[in-house]
Structure 1
Amino acid sequence: MSFNPLSAILKEHKLEGHNYIVWKQNLDIVLTAEEYKYVLTTECPPEPAANASATVKETYRKWCKANEMAKCCMLASMSTVLQHQHQGMNTATEIMNNLNNHFGTQNRAAKSLAFRSIMTKVMKEGTSVRDHVLEMMSHLNQIEILGGIIDPESQVTIILQSLPSSYQQFKLNFEMNKRAYTLAELLTELQPAEDLMVQTKAAMMSSRSSSSGSKPGKGKKKAQNVVAPKIAKGKKKRVNTNKKQSGKCFKCGEKGH
């Protein structure tokens, strides 16, 4: 195995049993970086015949070497007791299956939690779509590490469903185009859509602000025109009750009342 600083992760966090989930996640990182992870998901090719082509022989040799290196990574990062139990096994897959049988309860609980997290996660309006998608991708990767299988098309669908209503037009365009996005391509397409929505919202706010700034002046003039006649009309109707009546009283004939 070539020197890789990531391998120090396994050395510092050896598998004891109770830490199986964390150990498995760290192992996935190291095997991916070293390009050995594929031996956990592919069977060993048949041993080539003496007259087999160079390509067939190289494929077999490469798989056997990757398998041995993956086994070394796994055994070197276990407690002494676990090493003794697994060192006689022929493939890295055999070791992983046995570990899963021993500590699978932890694995199933973590997988269930990861599934719940990704199915209930909803992006909040106004937050970063990039951060949201990266978080969703992290949950999907964790599910894969724990042995869960979600096909690429379903992964994209799950992320689209977690977007808020402001991305409805993007979702409609996606359905109409019937394009097969990878998660990376989906993120690349979502970011310009987010920028466009932010610009559109800013333009609408600016337009509303300009419109509201011109209306108060007109309203004030109308109020003055309406109120003034009412005040004048009210003054005409006011009667001075202290003024003495002129002329003679039609009853008693006296003046002044």
Structure 2
Amino acid sequence: MSTFYNASGSSNNSANSFSLLNICTRITFDGSNFNDWIQNIRMALRCLDKEYVLEKELNGIDETKATPEEITKYRAHCKDGTKVSCIMSATMTPELQRLYEDYWSYEMCKDLMEKYHQRVLQERYKIVRSFIITKMKDGDSIMAHLQRMQRYVDYLLKLNVNFDEELAIDIVLHSLPPSYDHFKMTYHMAQ
């Protein structure tokens, strides 16, 4: 878990966790705002290094046959998953809380993704469109542009959009201004 330090240099994990929970509660999931809600949850979990529990299913282990490292990882995943499930439930309407109170964070996220798939498709369309039409202007920072393009790729991967790495590279190269034509030609010749 990330450790944060206050102005005096001492660790203050509980205060930061509380602050992140406050951020999460700004959006209460009511069934109509899934994309905003899950984005908010993911940002807070990413800061706490717990986002993995939404993406990685917790499979039981036989502690008599598992290594100490496997047992430690399993127990940490259980603990993190419980905390995340509580945060997710706490940021839902009471009706949705009752529906999901016995769900594990991974299963809850998966079920919600399936139920609100149409909205996710709309979000995917918006991100794909932005990714394709984004163009860097001459004089803009290449690093800022590449970071923006990488965020689009990362977000699409989080939405379970699988696409070829070469296609992503082609889209990024296409987004560069004419002043990068020599670079693009050199890149393609090297392939």
Q: Is this a same-fold pair by TM over 0.5? A: yes
Kindly tell me: are residues 144 and 51 of structure 1, through their superposed partners in 2, closer, same or farther at Cα, counting changes over 3 Å? closer
Any idea what SS the aligned residue of 2:147 has?
A: helix
Could you tell me how far apart the structure 2 residues matched to 1:72 and 1:151 are?
Answer: 36
Deviation at 1:144, TM superposition (A): 3.2
Query: Are 1:66 and 2:61 an aligned pair?
Result: no
Counterpart among 83, 94, 98 of residue 97 in structure 2: 83
Alignment TM-score, normalising by the size of structure 2 = 0.79
Any idea what SS the aligned residue of 1:63 has?
A: helix
- Amino acid aligned to 1:137: Q
Give the number of aligned pairs: 177
Counterpart among 32, 47, 50 of residue 18 in structure 1: 32
Could you tell me how far apart the structure 2 residues matched to 1:107 and 1:92 are?
Answer: 18
User: Is the 1:27–1:74 Cα contact (8 Å) retained in structure 2?
Assistant: yes
Q: Kindly name which structure, 1 or 2, has the bigger radius of gyration based on alpha carbons.
A: 1
- Root mean square deviation, CA, Å: 2.4
Counterpart among 159, 172, 179 of residue 166 in structure 1: 179
Could you tell me how far apart the structure 1 residues matched to 2:185 and 2:49 are?
Answer: 39
- Which segment is superposed worse, 46-55 or 70-79? 46-55
Alignment TM-score, normalising by the size of structure 1 = 0.61
Percent sequence identity over aligned pairs:
27
- Amino acid aligned to 1:160: L
Any idea what SS the aligned residue of 1:6 has?
A: helix
Counterpart among 126, 142, 149 of residue 162 in structure 2: 149
5+ long unaligned stretches in structure 1:
179-257
Kindly tell me: are residues 13 and 140 of structure 1, through their superposed partners in 2, closer, same or farther at Cα, counting changes over 3 Å? same
User: Is the 1:14–1:23 Cα contact (8 Å) retained in structure 2?
Assistant: yes
User: Is the 1:48–1:60 Cα contact (8 Å) retained in structure 2?
Assistant: no
Any idea what SS the aligned residue of 2:25 has?
A: helix
Deviation at 1:51, TM superposition (A): 4.7
Corresponding residue number in structure 2 for 1:137 = 150
Could you tell me how far apart the structure 1 residues matched to 2:87 and 2:157 are?
Answer: 20
Deviation at 1:125, TM superposition (A): 2.9
Any idea what SS the aligned residue of 1:147 has?
A: coil
5+ long unaligned stretches in structure 2:
1-12
